[in-house]
Amino acid sequence: MSRVVILGAGISGHTAAAFARKWLGPEDTVTVVSPNETYNWIPSNIWVGVGLMKPSQVTFPLAPVYERHGIEFRQASAREIHPEGNADHSVPYVVIETAAGAREQVPYDFLINATGPRLRFDKTEGLGPEGNSLSVCTPEHAVQASTALDEAVGRMRRGERQRFLVGVGHGTCTCEGAAFEYAVNLEFELRARKVRDKAEITWITNEYELGDFGMGGMHLRRGGYVVPSNMFTESLFAERGIDWITRAHVSKVDKDRVCYETLDGAQREQEFDFAMLLPPFSGVGLRAYAPDGADITDRLFLANDFMRVDADYAAKPPGQWAPGDWPRTYQSPAYGSIFAAGIAFAPPHAISIPHTSPNGTLIAPAPPRTGMPSAEIGKTVARSVVDMIRGAQGPTHSASMAEMGAACVASAGAHLLTGTAASMTVYPIVPDFARYPQYGRDLNQTFGEIGLAGHWIKILLHHMFLYKARLRPGWALIPE
């Protein structure tokens, strides 16, 4: 009998748990530890944030699903990893803690860390729902954003002008794509509510160019040319009357303005009445201990609390970055029974070239590891763990982001006949200039297009992935 423990029930952890349970025998146990009672299909949170969906449409309770499929569920936060057990017994275990403060030791044979990010609103003064800006990172945050939007629309209907600021709240944020979706959906919704003429919308980002999305942008064949993605993003914003600020590090969010520094070192301000700014991420802050109680956290985690895996973490300049730097199996180099999946694994470096202002401020999008890659990595790790339980000496499957493509649909307005979305595919996610010397990616498999079809696909994906996450009949046939 083997015990697989999965920390986190997000896209990666839930996928890993579902496949591990499907592939393992009844004598083996799969346990999921998550502080959240519900599963959240995060890509649709943007629609909650503009009032088009209710939280119940993007979430469902985890416990009944896990009970139906024989997965043990502990609603608690993981606190500590003891990879060699303790002084009394050598069985590895994690320490979890419920919201009420009760702590429990959960033993494991294989541990998959899929805890996702800690939302670091604290990195920027005044950032976040407890400060002066909004977020759509969780359903609760999205509801707050929706309520604030309703209030702003009310003011516009009374004749007031409103300034909307949407983007990222720190120079090292990731998830620019989600903020971008929120910006264009907000614009669409203001038009639908017939108050667009009273709104000034500004996009603020740490990207060097629009359309970077933390993956160095991409190039597409269009109209006989190979064109960069910033051209399409600028076009989309200009067409919709959205202004933009690039290469920005937001340093402070006051009640009605943000202070930010741009890459030229200048300190600037932007006033707002409504600000939705996503936070930077870090790992959740798990600690690791040796049997004698010594803190060995740095053996398992980097300083940003993301987990070390089989990546090349040697510091090197962007000119020396290589596809081989990126992890393939997501196995901890310190302990073969520990893996990390999704946002929890530490990337070796950025994908976009990082920049520093003359003041020493790092303004660089962090690499995205959400959505399709996150689920793909979760499934791959589960496959390797199951094979190792059955006798394999090491991980049997790999899913390097330098060898993996991704499909993404970014909503640009939700309506069955007038909505649009940008449908994109990119291959590989991490550019490989050895294989594709000119642009780093295969242009036959990298494309983007804006249209109503994209919105239909986005709706289809919403329902399809929630069906899959509920582990309904045939769920495993639906791709990641």
Partner 1 sequence: MAIPDSPARPTQPAQATGSPATADGAPSPPTGTTATGAAKVTAETAPYVTRPTRSTIFLRTFVPWQLWRFVRINAKMIRIIRGPRS
Give residues 210-269 in contact with partner 1 (rule: CB under 8 A). 211-212, 216-217, 219, 228-232, 234-235, 237-239, 241, 243-248, 262-269
Strand partners, 77: 97
Q: Which of 332, 309, 312, 328 is nearest to 320 (CA)?
A: 312
Residues in 320-379 that interact with partner 1 by CB under 8 A: 320-324, 352-353, 358-359, 372
Dihedral of alpha carbons 288, 394, 377, 316, sign = positive
Residue number with CB closer to partner 1 (86 or 262):
262
Cβ at position 256, least distance to partner 1 in Å: 14
Q: Which residues pair with 342 in a beta bridge?
A: none
Is residue 463 part of the contact set for partner 1 (CB under 8 A)? no
Q: Does 293 help bind partner 1 (rule: CB under 8 A)?
A: no
Neighbours of 109 (CB within 10 A): 17
- Tell me, by CB under 8 A, how many residues bind partner 1: 80
Tell which one of 91, 290, 407, 443 touches partner 1 (CB under 8 A). 407
Cβ neighbours of residue 422 closer than 8 Å, sequence gap 6 or more? 232, 236, 409, 410, 412, 448, 449, 450, 454
Q: Name the nearest CA neighbour of 352 among 174, 203, 204, 212.
A: 212
Nearer to partner 1, 65 or 165 (CB): 165
Nearer to partner 1, 263 or 300 (CB): 263
Nearest Cα neighbor of 395 from 380, 377, 405, 373 is 380
Q: Which of 449, 464, 467, 475 binds partner 1 (CB under 8 A)?
A: 449
Query: Minimal distance in Å, beta carbon 95 to partner 1?
Result: 35
Q: Which is nearer to partner 1, 229 or 370 (CB)?
A: 229
- Residue 339's contacts (CB-CB under 8 Å, 6 or more residues apart) are 110, 111, 112, 113, 309, 329, 330, 331, 332, 381, 384, 385, 395
Phi then psi dihedrals of residue 355, to 5 deg: -130, 150
Cβ closer to partner 1: 144 or 270? 270
Residue 257: other Cβ atoms inside 10 A: 17
91 is a site residue for partner 1 (CB under 8 A):
no
Q: Which is nearer to partner 1, 141 or 455 (CB)?
A: 455
> Which one, 105 or 320, has the nearer CB to partner 1?
320
Shortest reach from residue 68's CB to partner 1, in Å: 27
Interface of this chain with partner 1, residues 181 to 210, rule: CB under 8 A: 202, 208-209
Binding partner 1 (rule: CB under 8 A), the pick from 11, 399, 401, 410 is: 399
Binding-residue pattern over the window 415 to 434 for partner 1, x denoting contact by CB under 8 A: --xx-x--x-x-x---x-xx
Beta bridge partners of 222: 225
* Shortest Å distance, C-beta 242 to partner 1: 9
Among 99, 303, 453, 476, binds partner 1 (CB under 8 A): 453
> Which residues in the 52-81 window bind partner 1 by CB under 8 A?
none
Which residues share a beta bridge with 61?
38
Q: Which residue lies nearer to partner 1 by CB, 101 or 437?
A: 437
If the CB atoms of residues 2 and 357 are measured against partner 1, the closer one turns out to be: 357
- According to the binding rule CB under 8 A, does residue 94 interact with partner 1? no
Closer CB to partner 1, 140 or 449, in the complex:
449
**Smallest distance, Å, CB 155 to partner 1?**
22
**Residue 391 makes contact with partner 1 by CB under 8 A:** no
DSSP-assigned letters across all residues of 397-430: ----TTT--EEEEEES---TTT--EEEEEESSSS
Work out whether 274 is an interface residue with partner 1 (CB under 8 A). no
User: Could you tell me if 307 and 283 are in contact, meaning their C-beta atoms sit under 8 angstroms apart?
Assistant: yes
Quote the distance between the C-alpha of residue 244 and its chain's center.
23
Among 26, 159, 319, 473, binds partner 1 (CB under 8 A): 319
First to last CA, the chain: 28
DSSP 8-state code for residue 113: E
Packed helices 62-69 and 11-23: angle between N→C axes, nearest 10 degrees: 20
Stretch near partner 1 under the rule CB under 8 A, chosen from 78-86, 136-144, 334-342, 392-400: 392-400
Q: Which is nearer to partner 1, 74 or 328 (CB)?
A: 328
Q: How far is the CB of 457 from partner 1 (least distance, A)?
A: 6
404 binds partner 1 (CB under 8 A): yes
Rounded-to-integer distance, Cα 19 and Cα 60, Å: 19
Q: Confirm or reject binding of residue 393 to partner 1 (CB under 8 A).
A: no
Length of the chain in residues, anyone? 480
Q: Which of 365, 361, 345 is nearest to 353 (CA)?
A: 365
Nearer to partner 1, 10 or 365 (CB): 365
Query: How many whole angstroms separate alpha carbon 479 and alpha carbon 19?
Result: 12
Other beta carbons within 10 Å of 285: 13
Of residues 55, 107, 336, 405, which one binds partner 1 by CB under 8 A? 405
Question: Binders of partner 1 among 143-172, rule CB under 8 A?
Answer: none
Least CB distance to partner 1 at residue 21 (A): 21
